Structures are given as structure tokens and as C-alpha cells.
């Protein structure tokens, strides 16, 4: 039975329309459902030509057991990065802040208000490549949402502040001026992150 992506026009989203995951397109309906059910959001961003996006779909999103965990504890949203580069950029910044790297598929866990608290790229279905299994991540985060909700909300608030600082130009006109304190902050960050040895 198709999920909520069946009416979308993106070939990438339509590719996921028959997954057992109850995918929603990005929009108010999904976020309202997350708020009314007090569930975190699982946001997965990818694109049609992405190899690891297809791998993760086959290994996890087509897997009924993994889909059951997602459907029980999360509201799942699928985004085509080619349709929503704005969301892709913002949440990529968040994942890069969390992990030091980025890529696709971009998988991120959000509060019902859209604030990120955990994320990464490809997650394997079983523990390998030095990474935990995707079902284990899902079960751990679902448990934390129930038992350590305040801690998650605090983490999400910090993450959104970091992303806001780094995404200064998002939503600004091209004629907006860059303030001197922002330039100094950017320069300080570049100097702090630079590998002077290598």
C-alpha cells in the first residue's frame, strides 16, 4: 500500500512511495502529526542519482521490521534535495556540526518543531564500518525521547543556534552587508579548524 508520497511529482520521492515506511512529504501535515502525537521526526534527504541513498532504501526503508520501528516511534519525512536545496543546506550544516562530516543520504532526527538533535548520513542495517545498526539507533533515540526528553530539547536548542550562526546568508538578500563581528567569528573559526601540521 502506498504511503503519503504517492501524489508527489519528484521521481526520487515516488521511488519511496511504496516503501513500508509511512513517509510524508515535507510540510505542515507531517509536523502537525509529530506535534499532536508528541513524536520526533525522522527526516531523510537524498536525490535520485545518489548511490548510498539507494543502498539505504534497499537495506532499511524496504525492510518491514525497520519500517515498523520508524512508523511506531517517529514521523518520517522524505525530501528530494533537488527540490528543497534550502532544507538540504540547513540540515547539512547541522549534521556537519554534529559529526564533522556530511553527505547523502542525509538522515537527521528533529523535534516536532523541526530542531535537529541527532543525525548522520548512511546508517547500515547491522553494525559494520564502525557504525551502529540503524534499528539500534532508532530504538535508542525513541527511548531517549520518552525518558530524556528535556535533554534532547536542550540539545536541539543548542544545535539550532549553531546552525543559525553558520547559515547567516540563508533568507538574506544578496545585497545584505556582512557585519564585522561575523567576519571576525568566521576568521576565528577558520584559524581554529585549520590543520597547521598537515
What does the radius of gyration of the chain's CA atoms come to, in whole angstroms? 18
What pLDDT shows up at residue 129? 84
Write down the pTM of the prediction: 0.81
Q: pLDDT, tens digit, for every residue of 47-70?
A: 999 999 999 999 999 999 999 999
Q: What is the edge-to-edge ordering of all strands in the sheet holding 23-24?
A: 23-24, 75-80, 41-46, 106-110, 116-120
Task: Using pLDDT thresholds of 50, 70 and 90, give the confidence band for residue 193.
Answer: confident
CATH class of 4-193: alpha beta
So what's the pLDDT on residue 166? 59
Domain limits of the chain? 4-193
Q: Span 114-143, mean pLDDT?
A: 94
Q: What is the pLDDT of residue 184?
A: 73
Which residues have CB under 8 Å from 64's CB, separation 6+?
20
Cα 162 from chain centroid (whole Å): 15
In this predicted structure, what is the pLDDT of residue 177?
A: 53
Amino acid at each position: 500500500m502506498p504511503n503519503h508520497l504517492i501524489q508527489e511529482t519528484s521521481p526520487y520521492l515516488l521511488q519511496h512511495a511504496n516503501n513500508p515506511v509511512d513517509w510524508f512529504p515535507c510540510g505542515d501535515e507531517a509536523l502537525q502529526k509529530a506535534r499532536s502525537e508528541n513524536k520526533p521526526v525522522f527526516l531523510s534527504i537524498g536525490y535520485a542519482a545518489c548511490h548510498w541513498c539507494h543502498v539505504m532504501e534497499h537495506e532499511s526503508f524496504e525492510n518491514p521490521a525497520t519500517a515498523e520501528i520508524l512508523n511506531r516511534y517517529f514521523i518520517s519525512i522524505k525530501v528530494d534535495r533537488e527540490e528543497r536545496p534550502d532544507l538540504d543546506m540547513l540540515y547539512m550544516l547541522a549534521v556537519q556540526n554534529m559529526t564533522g562530516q556530511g553527505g547523502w543520504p542525509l538522515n537527521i532526527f528533529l523535534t516536532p518543531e523541526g530542531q535537529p538533535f541527532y543525525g548522520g548520513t548512511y546508517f547500515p542495517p547491522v553494525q559494520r564500518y564502525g557504525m551502529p545498526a540503524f534499528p539500534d539507533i532508532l530504538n535508542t533515540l525513541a527511548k531517549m525521547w520518552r525518558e530524556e526528553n528535556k535533554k534532547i530539547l536542550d540539545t536541539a536548542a543548542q544545535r539550532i543556534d549553531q546552525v543559525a550562526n553558520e547559515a547567516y546568508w540563508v533568507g538574506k538578500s544578496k545585497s545584505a552587508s556582512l557585519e564585522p563581528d561575523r567576519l571576525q567569528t568566521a576568521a576565528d573559526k577558520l584559524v581554529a579548524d585549520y590543520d597547521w601540521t598537515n
